[in-house]
Amino acid sequence: MNHPTPVCPSRRGAIRALGAASLLTLGNVSGSRTPAMAVTGGAPASLPSPGPVSPDRAGEPSEREKADRIREEFLHAWQGYKRHAWGHDELLPVTGGHREFFADGHPVGLSIIEALDTHYVMGLDDEVAHCTKWIRTNLDFDIDAGFQVFEAVIRLVGGLVAGYLATGERDLLTLCTDLADRLLPAFTKSPTGMPYRHVNLRTGAVSGTVVPLAEIGTSILEFGVLSDLTGDTRYVRASKRALTEVVRRRSSLHLLGTSLNVETGAWADRECAGVDPPVDSFHEYLWGGWAMFGDEDCLGWFRMFDASFKQHLVERVDGRLWFKHVDFRTGELLNRLQSSLAVDVLSVGGDNALAADYYRSWTAVREKYTVIPEEIDYSRITVTGPGNALRPEYANCAFELYWHTGDPFYRTTAWRHFQDLTTHHRVPGGYTVVTDVTQRPMAKGDYCPAYVFAENFKWLYLTFADTDRFDYAHGYLSTEAKILRGLRHPS
């Protein structure tokens, strides 16, 4: 990767792995994310130091002012949640309603948990206190309902761990451990060790035997940190076994299908989705296993798939980089669909020209449609999924590439993205999804996914703020933007 404007000469490769989400329908928000499939770094990842705040240009807010604007808009979204949906999982910002994400009738305050470390890095200490009080008073995972394991790990386990790291509140860690213990049967009851899709938090009953790879293999960061904090290795061992079982089922091309039957271990399809959901964050967490815990197996696997992606999936159309879908056994082309959730396929493994190229491909899509649609056919950049479920991946990618390279292009495009976000997703009650980016005015839906409080505004804020609450040199964030390493507590 080029380093056009290195902010800090000591910067070197290695940024955290990234993620992306799976379901492409609005309001159905499961998923995982995508890694940069190129490795150059040898050591565990670290974020480079922040650069100096750039001077004002004529008519342009300073970087600090931009960070403040982003925080204001985060608070606009948050006030909507507090006003209309407090204690429920998610806000319906147009009608002022709410919905539960995991199980009807069983709120777990998902948006509150998602927001914890965002409040902290933004210096919103009263909100942190308000949230932790609600959690201490109300949260109880003894719930007789099936929870989706992947989502519970990245959002709830990750959120509580990050909240604990931000606040030091033991209750958060205790609740997190209780939840993880309730999720473990999904792994331990499986004959292969690859987790079932759902587990009943009270009874431990499991269900969902055909599981996409992102849902099988996106837990080593959260469970690994939990094992480190508690000294209980059951969590990280469960995650590592699941990864191992997937990797050993690769084809002779060193490619993977999309979903496995976790009881029989058989592939459920022949499609290699590559960097797209619902596989994406499986690869991201291979890098994460190395970057956070120094796991050499994870690094080797990441490199193996990286090489295979470059050999079998990469293609360029009109100079733009994309990743095609192929039969994972033969390499035969299946389609040229690409999910916007893959936009943060970037520099997980260090300097990576592919990561920068891919961001530029999606920047071209953003420039064409203003708001990036959920899915395109990249052969002619036509829209196949017209909505945008307030996706955070473009901002995620801009943050990573900015701190990786210091190239002001990423701040410029991130700011443009933020402005479009406020233009097209903002409503009086907060922020909401767009259902068709090709219409003018854009058609809006009525839904604010909880990940908005974890991701969109945090990525943008960290891109412009030079906060002393985050260690830009060593920080590491999960696929759900949970800060699992690098929260600082300046006196």
Nearer to ligand DMJ, 99 or 234 (CB): 99
Nearer to ligand DMJ, 20 or 131 (CB): 20
In one-letter notation, the amino acid at residue 5 is: T
Nearer to ligand DMJ, 239 or 251 (CB): 239
* CB of 481 vs ligand DMJ, minimal distance in Å: 7
Nearer to ligand DMJ, 285 or 302 (CB): 285
* CB of 478 vs ligand DMJ, minimal distance in Å: 8
Nearer to ligand DMJ, 7 or 292 (CB): 292
CA of 441: how far to CAs of 24, 370, 416, 417, 420, in Å?
A: 22, 12, 18, 17, 12
C-alpha 67, offset from chain centre: 21
* CB of 193 vs ligand DMJ, minimal distance in Å: 22
User: Do residues 29 and 277 lie in contact, with contact meaning Cβ atoms separated by under 8 Å?
Assistant: no
Nearer to ligand DMJ, 150 or 267 (CB): 150
CA atoms of 211 and 198, how far apart (whole Å): 10
Nearer to ligand DMJ, 7 or 213 (CB): 213
CA of 331: how far to CAs of 246, 274, 282, in Å?
A: 19, 11, 20
Q: What is the crossing angle of helices 353-369 and 408-424, to 10°?
A: 30
* CB of 388 vs ligand DMJ, minimal distance in Å: 10
Which residues of the shown chain bind ligand DMJ in the complex (CB under 6 A)? 19-21, 31-33, 154, 281, 341, 391-392, 451, 455, 479-480
* CB of 340 vs ligand DMJ, minimal distance in Å: 9
Q: Which letter does DSSP use for residue 249 in this model?
A: T
Structure tokens at 414: 């991130």
CB atoms within 10 A of CB 389: 28
CB atoms within 10 A of CB 229: 15
Interior angle at CA 182, CA 176 and CA 184, nearest 5:
100
Instruction: Identify the sign of the CA torsion 350, 353, 355, 360.
Output: positive
* CB of 126 vs ligand DMJ, minimal distance in Å: 26
* CB of 194 vs ligand DMJ, minimal distance in Å: 19
Secondary-structure percent of the chain, ordered helix, strand, coil, rounded to 5 = 45, 15, 45
Residue nearest to ligand DMJ according to CB distances in the complex: 21
Nearer to ligand DMJ, 147 or 351 (CB): 147
Q: In a 10 Å sphere around its CB, with 0-12 CB exposed, 13-18 middle and 19+ buried, how is residue 118 labelled?
A: buried
Nearer to ligand DMJ, 35 or 392 (CB): 392
Report the 3 state secondary structure along 39-82.
ECCCCCCCCCCCCCCCCCCCCCCCHHHHHHHHHHHHHHHHHHHH
Q: Which letter does DSSP use for residue 19 in this model?
A: -
Nearer to ligand DMJ, 158 or 406 (CB): 158
| CA-based nearest residue to 352, from 289, 287, 294, 411 | 287
